[in-house]
Amino acid sequence: MDRSQYCVDALQEEDAKKELGVLWRRVKTAASLFTYLKSKARIMAVPQMAHIVCGIKQLDGVGLVDENGVPLSVSSRNVELSSFDSLDVETWTALGSHHGSLDEDDVVYINESFKSVHMVGDVMESLVKRVIVAESETAIEKEKVTVGQDEIKRKNLQIENMSFRLEEMAQLALGTNCILNEMRQRVEDLVDETSRQRERAAENEQELCRVKQDFQSLKTYVSSLINIRETLISSEKQFQTIERLFERLVVKTSQLENEKTQKEVEVQKLMEENVRLTALLDKKEAQLVAMNEQCKVLALNAPTI
């Protein structure tokens, strides 16, 4: 009975030692992970180291980007929690050499612890990225505020200049009241003059109507004169034709007169020649009569011979 009790106590003591060893390994593992988180938090507290650890870079035209080239304004909104199903063989060997052999419960505990630590690290990096983005956006907003203040100052100067110009324009407006009154009087005079000119224009319109009527009458008269002139031109052409015919007739008459004169001269010559020939014929007849008488005489005297 005592021996069995001793065995039970020995087994319980051995189990207690094992549990104590497991607890001790878990405490050391938790302490190591906590130390890792503390060191990582200290590194994250330094801005330059945080940029290096998180892989943050500054690109022109884009801004801050992570190690994948994604802008922090997008990547910082999503926290990726990588899963660790099991540790590699070297890690288990290292842990076994430092803390003794590991059972299945230790593996599960350490695996879950590493998952939690990695998740906390990712959350820390995400928070750091958000802080960096917030600081960058704050700097940008401060710069915008500075630019806005400069713009406000410039606008204030412009407003002051415009106020000064408005005062000058007000003084100029006061100074131009007299000019406006004079211009108003001139406008009234121009209105009166315009009314008189309208009356004159109406009279000129009536006179123009009369002139148009006279012009129409004159146009009709000129048209009739043109017709008469055309008739006279036609008559003149006919007269010129008659005159040319008369000239031809005169020429022909002159020719006939000349021919008549020539014919009369020829007739006179022929009459004279006829008279001469008649006288010659009478003379020849007288000679013939004389010769006939002589012949008769000779004939009568011939038988007697």
Tens-digit pLDDT profile for residues 48-64: 666 666 666 665 555 56
Domain contains 76: yes
φ/ψ of 62, rounded to 5, equals -115, -45
Domain contains 261: no
Domain contains 107: yes
Domain contains 267: no
Domain contains 150: no
The number of domains in the chain is: 1
Domain contains 20: yes
Domain contains 237: no
Maximum Cα–Cα distance across the chain: 268
Q: Number of C-alpha atoms within 13 angstroms, CB side, residue 246?
A: 6
Q: Quick: pLDDT tens for 248-293.
A: 888 888 888 888 888 888 888 888 888 888 888 888 888 888 888 8
This model's pTM is above 0.75: no
Q: Quick: pLDDT tens for 205-246.
A: 888 888 888 888 888 888 888 888 888 888 888 878 888 888
Q: Which structural domain range is residue 51 located in?
A: 2-135
Name 152's Cβ contacts closer than 8 Å, sequence gap at least 6. Answer: none
Domain contains 202: no
